[in-house]
Structure 1
């Protein structure tokens, strides 16, 4: 059977928070439905659209902004380019005007309360994150499609037969860590170099490099903005932003006008262990506070875990003098390959596997990437990824109020610190004596996911979500 084909740009996607599976995925599904209507010459005939949300998308949809994403997707807006400052104003206009411009072309009447339905007690068997779009046409017929948001912004339909990308002839098809190791040993290539060879099957190397550096541009803008924005996060939990306050304390209340000058100030703070811990935590908090505020982030590989890899990458850039295009490309390509192994062998969806599938996977990706960039061998890279995931196994997804805030934001700081620790352990170890392989951990994670009670899989029906009293606005 052919290997699943996953590009670095599938593992890292530019979008808008707070969730890859509950925001970015449904947004893409809505765009896909509009495109289907266009291709079938049905868009101009649409009189009414209904949206049905099932399972986890229904239970935590409000907190994750699923409704917001779908309305913007149906309106023809794109999460990569849409002005994040216009997210709430546009959605409020749709609600108050009882109208929606489908695909930015066809105006229709639309009642938010009657035509966007949260079916809390209904689930579809293929995947917990399901949404059905129904378009009723003026000729009396209807078009209906069901999409599944399977994590990391990936969207499929139950009977899809296409791979994630169009079929190409990859020089190094990889599904498992063992296959990756064999290819590296056979060729002498580093993991990052092998990834770049595969990416050539889709596009020229310069295009891949430019795309990765654009991803880094969004990451550093997100970190900088999060480190300089105060206030309270939306959603009703009244969670205060902490990154800006921590950033001020680290830099002794001095302010800097751009990322480069701020980075130099961070570096000038020294390498005291406590200071570095504060910095890494601040970087992760900054990203996930932006994510919780419908800011622009990079899915890495999910939005709920979007702060882990940026925090570790920023740590590497700041404290190893690695503000260098080649090093950044090396870090992100290595991380993407580790993430693709988890997606192929297990899941990166919290609705399928709990938070081990998000924070755990992102921590493993960051650990492997940091290890290669610090000079580790291919075996040490895989060992670092294994160590990081091993200590996230069984981590549940229990967001309070269905919001990607508590405990999600702090978990990103923990995932980043664990990734750095895992890299250090691997670099000081002989991987030939490792007792657990990365493939064994991937398999164990998937078995754990299948055994995990559904209430701990992004439903807000268990764990901290039912232990903390709160008063949130009614849906």
Structure 2
């Protein structure tokens, strides 16, 4: 099985607060409308319903899933939509409200047309949703089930996955062991392997422009978060802190005359994940719940590493892509499937390996950095308080950013040889996710979610 996933799929520009619970459902709803339109039946629709199962049903309200579904039915896309319009798409519905399917065909849509079945788990994935279209008859004339499998990726039930992609990458790799063999045999770095694969689909100029656009969106989420204030939505009354941390750091640096890179790193991560929790524009990296780690470590590189450059950021993103591809192919990047180890753990490993690469690490040292980072996230649960991507998610990104930097620098002191391989730790993560109780996998039925009193 080829592990490579394009950077332009793994890093998708979207909105918060969740790639699996917001971005994925929006794409699924839009895809359903496209199916109906493609069959020439759009004008026949008088009603659409959506059932959210499993994790989508458990924490969908806190993640804005119903709003995302309605926005997708209306034809909105995560990459281009107005985040404010999405936040009110379902919650702002009034009785008898009109929804234009695909932005074209008007139907009456009620809040009750979205229903929740948290105790029903479909076999395909914990994040499942069924959309149905009615033409006035007693049964729906069209019905599709979609799975939101993490990172904004969706899969339709019954879809032939073998036919989904016809891309023939010139340098595929099913494992980190094969990736290292490719590097050794070709003399190429990991980012150069990734670039060869990207340039099989796009020109070099298009790859550079796309990577620059991804980084620009990441940087914008950092800046927006550092300027944000007030409380985050959802009822927990969590205060945004990134702006205050930035102000404190600016004062402390001015008074002491020295830089505080580690604390800036924390502020960058807090900024992105506060922006995500507020439903703002972020980049899945590889998910929204872990969206702050790669931008934070990249910002740290640009600000505090001598010789850092825009080309270095491209190398950083391509290296992270190769590592993230391994996690997606051989384990999971979905919190509902593998717990937070699959989200924050994967992102930390991607950032650690990528930073090691731009600090001059060899492919072996890069693989070692990613392994160190993931090893110390094994077993991490996903138990968001109130079903919101706030506690413990926001601080968790800041701490994981520090872990990524530490793992990268630690690996540079070695020669890349180590006892536990990245492949081994990825497989261990997969097994741990399978064994993990469902209540610790983005259902808010265990852990902090039930032990923190919501006031």
- Normalising by structure 2, we get a TM-score of 0.96
* 1:20 correspondence with 2:19: yes
| Distance in 1 (alpha carbons) for counterparts of 2:397 and 2:450 | 21
Name the residue aligned to 1:110: 109
| Distance in 2 (alpha carbons) for counterparts of 1:152 and 1:369 | 19
SS of the residue aligned with 1:419?
helix
| Distance in 2 (alpha carbons) for counterparts of 1:376 and 1:277 | 21
Name the residue aligned to 2:329: 344
Q: 2:371 aligns with which of 386, 397, 404?
A: 386
| Distance in 1 (alpha carbons) for counterparts of 2:132 and 2:166 | 30
Name the residue aligned to 1:121: 119
Instruction: Map 1:226-305 onto structure 2 (within 5 A).
Output: 226-252=225-251, 270-271=258-259, 275-305=260-290
Q: 1:413 aligns with which of 398, 409, 412?
A: 398
SS of the residue aligned with 2:227?
coil
| Distance in 2 (alpha carbons) for counterparts of 1:164 and 1:212 | 27
Residues 135 and 214 of structure 1: CA distance in aligned 2, closer, same or farther (over 3 Å):
same
Q: 1:436 aligns with which of 414, 420, 429?
A: 420
Q: Give how far 1:321 is off.
A: 4.2
Cα deviation code 1:403-446 (max 9, x no counterpart): 000000000001100000000110011222x1111111011111
| Distance in 2 (alpha carbons) for counterparts of 1:104 and 1:168 | 32
| Distance in 1 (alpha carbons) for counterparts of 2:351 and 2:201 | 24
Q: Give how far 1:4 is off.
A: 4.8
Name the residue aligned to 1:456: 440
CA RMSD between the two structures: 1.8
Contact kept in structure 2, 1:15 and 1:80, CA below 8 Å = yes
Residues 157 and 90 of structure 1: CA distance in aligned 2, closer, same or farther (over 3 Å):
closer
Contact kept in structure 2, 1:368 and 1:382, CA below 8 Å = yes
SS of the residue aligned with 1:170?
coil
Q: Which consecutive unaligned segments of at least 5 residues does structure 1 have?
A: 254-264
* 1:181 correspondence with 2:165: no
* 1:427 correspondence with 2:412: yes
Q: Give how far 1:94 is off.
A: 3.4
Name the residue aligned to 2:133: 135
Q: Give how far 1:120 is off.
A: 2.0
| Distance in 2 (alpha carbons) for counterparts of 1:10 and 1:123 | 27
| Distance in 2 (alpha carbons) for counterparts of 1:165 and 1:366 | 28
Name the residue aligned to 2:317: 332
| Distance in 2 (alpha carbons) for counterparts of 1:159 and 1:443 | 26
| Distance in 2 (alpha carbons) for counterparts of 1:182 and 1:442 | 18
| Distance in 2 (alpha carbons) for counterparts of 1:269 and 1:344 | 47
Name the residue aligned to 1:373: 358
Name the residue aligned to 1:73: 72
- Normalising by structure 1, we get a TM-score of 0.92
| Distance in 2 (alpha carbons) for counterparts of 1:448 and 1:88 | 34
Residues 168 and 245 of structure 1: CA distance in aligned 2, closer, same or farther (over 3 Å):
same
SS of the residue aligned with 2:13?
strand
Name the residue aligned to 2:305: 320
SS of the residue aligned with 1:60?
helix
Cα deviation code 1:181-229 (max 9, x no counterpart): 0111010000001100011121111111101100111111110110011
SS of the residue aligned with 2:171?
coil
| Distance in 2 (alpha carbons) for counterparts of 1:129 and 1:8 | 23
Contact kept in structure 2, 1:6 and 1:164, CA below 8 Å = no
Q: Which consecutive unaligned segments of at least 5 residues does structure 2 have?
A: none
Contact kept in structure 2, 1:230 and 1:241, CA below 8 Å = yes
Q: Give how far 1:43 is off.
A: 0.9
Instruction: Map 1:23-102 onto structure 2 (within 5 A).
Output: 23-95=22-94, 98-102=97-101
Contact kept in structure 2, 1:316 and 1:322, CA below 8 Å = no
Residues 396 and 202 of structure 1: CA distance in aligned 2, closer, same or farther (over 3 Å):
same
Name the residue aligned to 1:198: 197
